[in-house]
Structure 1
């Protein structure tokens, strides 16, 4: 029996910023989510820290759900 999968909402910048370390941390978080079978839920953007974390999670075999509103 597989352990229950949890979901965690990730809220971070839609830009990578000036400090490369933030991108590295976002990538590491995405990989850790996949390794620990934690599903990532985020704002659905493909750019910035959110995009880095989502791509890393997917690349490591994780589950990602992007939520985008129709209108802001």
Structure 2
């Protein structure tokens, strides 16, 4: 008697590679030497003085300060 479970058609490695490739096609950082342009083009707007996290805009920075550094003045 065979099991009732569905036969596995794709391995986890194959699926993860497809997800990674899709992210890189959409403009995510990565891709080794060919993805160097994508990694260099990202511009950082502001940097947190307390923890040195980088943010793209001031509203993001305000949210960060309110949640991560409530005792500090923004």
TM range (shorter): under 0.3
Higher strand share: 1
User: Which structure is larger by alpha-carbon Rg, 1 or 2?
Assistant: 2
Task: Please give the TM-score of this superposition, normalised by the length of structure 2.
Answer: 0.27
Higher RCO structure (Cα 8 Å, ≥6 apart)? 1
Higher helix share: 2
